[in-house]
Chains A and B, each alone.
Chain A
Amino acid sequence: MKNHRNSQEVNAGSMADIAFLLLIFFLVTTTIENDSGLNRSMPPNIKDNSVDIKERNLFEISINDADLIMAEGDIIDPKNLREKVITFIDNGGLPLEAEGYCNYCKGNRFSDSSENPDKAIISIKAQRNSGYSVYVAVQNEVLAAYNDLRDRESLRLFNIPYKTIYSDYYNEEISEEEKGQLKERLEIIRALYPQKILEPETVNN
């Protein structure tokens, strides 16, 4: 054994042990805080806030006690929800000569679906006994539908996805100048597809 020793090195073997101890300490004392989620803003608490909406401009999503999702009068698979919402928002059903005609919509232009994205309203209604997770899933799918459409327009107009513009805008390392430009772009796209999600008061049963 002794004959094998031919170099005088500091034994660094215990370094790993020390580091492991520290590592384990940090592993057990800390939790990975997750700080992301779906941002929504609620309407102010005003009693008289009824508006007239044409039926064709309203896309109703309801969740029942058994966590089934109903959209436009039919029970649907949550996987198809996003696509349905996209078709609804992107319908652009007004005739070509009418005011408010949607010239960037790529939808079917049905006369019984939404007139233009600005008029299209999504209503999400849940029962008191519906599961929170289902509600979040529905919210997520509706937001995803809007984001898909915004992405499409953003790619068409500026050649970059909406998500990139959005995350760049909140990046603190960019200059004021760039920020102004990004803000402009965000506003243009948001005006094309404004998020209109309505949440009627939950019905007591």
Chain B
Amino acid sequence: MIKFNKYRSSKSLPPVSTASLPDIVFILLFFFMTVTVMKNQNLLVENTLPTATETEKLDKKDRVIEIYVGKPTNDSNANLGDEPRIQMDNKFITVDEVGDYALQALSSMPEHLKSVATVSIKADVGVKMGIIEDLKTELRMVNLLKINYTTYEGVAVDNL
């Protein structure tokens, strides 16, 4: 035993081969390439979504109308204050305009997708229910009844 150990330790260790490092990095690279989607909207509002457990996957992008709600981010618009705002199509809109913009988005969809269109409400955790209720009323007015409260995966009670 002792002899064996002696024999082993007397030899210097061979250097660790880094030949597989590129492979590992490529795997990571492919992972990121496949799971990520290019951003098509520039977020103008804070958008930390709440968490929920009973989530369902949202439909494909082509039948989803996105509405962001949250406080304006400070860097680009310092004079907008703290009141939550609604963002659609890369700009701020008022509650009254939501219906118009939603219909506009709906009309640009192919005919067969119009009946399955879903509105995804991406609201920040800090938003109050008032603006969400107004938003929902507006959407009901234009008969867009399928909505999705978009959330992160996680225990819902953590929100509180």
Contacts and interface: CB of A to CB of B under 8 A. Distances in A.
Contacts of A202: 129-130, 133
A39 B128 contact: no
A129 B18 CA distance: 58
Contacts of B148: 37-40
Contact of A36 (B32, B56, B130): B56
B57 A35 contact: yes
Contacts of B28: 23
B160 A67 contact: yes
B39 interface: yes
Contacts, number: 168
Interface in A132-172: 132-137, 139-141, 143-144, 147, 170
B125 to A, nearest CB: 4
B18 A38 contact: no
Interface residues of A, number: 52
Contacts of A31: 36-37, 39
Contacts of B33: 26
Interface in B15-48: 18-19, 21-22, 25-26, 28-29, 32-33, 35-39
A42 B140 contact: yes
A44 interface: yes
A1 B139 CA distance: 74
A16 B39 contact: no
B87 interface: no
Interface stretch (B1-9, B73-81, B103-111, B150-158): B150-158
A141 B58 contact: no
Contacts of B143: 44-45
Interface in B87-129: 118, 120, 123-129
A132 B126 CA distance: 7
B149 A78 contact: no
B51 to A, nearest CB: 8
B52 A45 contact: no
Contact of A126 (B133, B145, B156): B133
Contacts of B32: 23, 26-27, 30
Contacts of A20: 25
Interface of B: 18-19, 21-22, 25-26, 28-29, 32-33, 35-39, 49-50, 52-58, 61, 64, 118, 120, 123-130, 132-133, 136, 139-141, 143, 145-153, 156-157, 159-160
10 contacts: A23-B28, A36-B151, A38-B55, A39-B118, A40-B149, A44-B145, A45-B140, A45-B141, A126-B129, A139-B149
10 smallest CB-CB distances across A and B, nearest first, come from A30-B36, A128-B130, A133-B159, A37-B150, A140-B156, A15-B22, A19-B25, A35-B58, A36-B55, A140-B52
